[in-house]
């Protein structure tokens, strides 16, 4: 208390000056429209700047929440597009399969991504607690990513398409030509479509999509574009170089695809193989 009194005594002249100046400014502003409007305008600018700065700080720390909301919204829109025959996928809007759509879509985030080895894997932040199982396909908004290999309660490992041990069914868009999509372990932006018949019509710039024979991915999901083609095996087949639409070195939000009919199709496909 004594320190406060000493402070007031020491700076009494300055404090008196400031007090009188505030009173004078108040009377001036109240008695003149020009001064009042200018003050209000200036105060509004300062207040607006402070609020913008505050909102910017709040938005920065809330980016994760915003991203999750955007991911869910995009997923919902993609599911609606799928319902009307579009080839894009997203999060389903209910936990029940539709009679016309044998897929359930689960949004996830990539928490680990390898792309510099010959056999690469990813880790996503959903697992068996969310119904994730091996052999489910994984896609991103730009194309295919890989196939679920293993699932724990909360996490799943994905065999990346950048893995020399995986081979996926793919098709040249607008044709019935199919082949096996493989990676040679070199460039993470390029893959090869192999076992394409020599009589197939292949043109630089053709689009490669998932084929109708795939049980892990819906058909017509974009994969990449034909960069070049060469005849191999004594000219009997094409080996096509495909430039991926997906940037496999920069993955964040992805979608896991569950095919309701996958097991039933596998049973039919294996009939007679053990006879």
pLDDT at 15: 73
Torsion of CA 224, 229, 232, 236, to 10 degrees: 90
Would you give the distance in Å from CA 94 to the centre of its chain?
20
How open is the CA angle 126-219-242, to the nearest 5 degrees? 90
Domains of the chain, earliest start first: 2-61 (no CATH), 66-269 (2.40.10.340)
Question: Residue 177 contacts by C-beta under 8 Å, 6 or more apart in sequence?
Answer: 171, 196, 197, 200, 201, 202
E-strand spans in the chain? Answer: 103-113, 119-124, 137-140, 143-151, 156-163, 168-172, 178-182, 190-197, 207-210, 222-232, 237-244, 253-259
Q: Which residues pair with 160 in a beta bridge?
A: 146
pLDDT at 236: 87
Are the CB atoms for 147 and 137 separated by under 8 Å? yes
Per-residue pLDDT tens, the chain, 275 aa: give them.
667 777 667 777 777 777 777 777 676 666 655 555 555 445 544 544 554 565 555 555 556 665 665 665 565 565 555 554 443 443 443 334 445 567 788 889 899 999 989 999 999 999 999 889 999 999 998 899 999 999 999 899 999 999 999 999 999 998 989 999 999 999 999 999 999 998 888 999 999 999 877 778 888 888 999 999 998 888 889 999 999 999 999 998 899 988 776 555 554 555 554 44
> Which ranges of 62-144 would DSSP assign to H, the alpha helix?
63-83
Closest CA to 202 of 236, 232, 175, 224: 175
Tell me whether strands 103-113 and 119-124 are parallel, antiparallel or unpaired: antiparallel
Burial class (CB in 10 A: 0-12, 13-18, 19+), 149: middle
228-251: burial string, b at 16+ Cβ within 10 Å, e else: ebeeeeeeebbbbbbebbbebeeb
Q: How far apart are CA 68 and CA 164, in angstroms?
A: 32
How open is the CA angle 223-224-228, to the nearest 5 degrees? 140
Question: Residue 181 contacts by C-beta under 8 Å, 6 or more apart in sequence?
Answer: 161, 167, 168, 169, 170, 191, 192, 193, 194, 208, 223, 242
pLDDT at 166: 92
Are the CB atoms for 130 and 106 separated by under 8 Å? yes
């Amino acid at each position: 208390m004594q320190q406060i009194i000493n402070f007031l005594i020491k700076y009494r002249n300055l404090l008196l000056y400031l007090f009188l100046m505030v009173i004078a400014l108040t009377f001036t502003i109240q008695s003149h429209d020009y001064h009042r409007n200018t003050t209000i305008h200036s105060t509004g600018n300062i207040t607006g700047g402070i609020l913008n700065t505050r909102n910017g700080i709040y938005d920065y720390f809330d980016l994760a929440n915003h991203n999750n909301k955007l991911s869910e919204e995009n997923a919902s829109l993609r599911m609606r597009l799928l319902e009307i025959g579009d080839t894009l996928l997203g999060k389903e809007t209910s936990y029940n399969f539709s009679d016309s759509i044998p897929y359930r879509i689960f949004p996830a985030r990539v928490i680990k991504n390898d792309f510099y080895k010959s056999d690469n894997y990813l880790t996503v932040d959903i697992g068996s607690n969310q119904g994730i199982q091996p052999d489910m396909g994984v896609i991103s908004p730009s194309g295919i990513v890989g196939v679920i290999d293993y699932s724990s309660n909360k996490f799943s490992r994905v065999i990346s398409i950048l893995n020399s041990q995986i081979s996926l069914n793919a098709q040249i868009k607008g044709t019935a030509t199919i082949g096996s999509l493989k990676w040679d372990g070199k460039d993470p932006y390029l893959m090869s479509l192999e076992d394409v018949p020599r009589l197939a019509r292949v043109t630089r710039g053709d689009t490669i999509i998932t084929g109708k024979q795939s049980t892990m991915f819906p058909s017509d999901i974009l994969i990449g574009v034909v960069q070049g083609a060469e005849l191999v095996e004594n000219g009997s087949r094409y080996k096509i170089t495909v430039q991926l639409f997906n940037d496999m070195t920069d993955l964040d939000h992805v979608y896991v695809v569950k095919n309701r009919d996958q097991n039933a199709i596998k049973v039919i496909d294996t009939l007679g193989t053990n006879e």
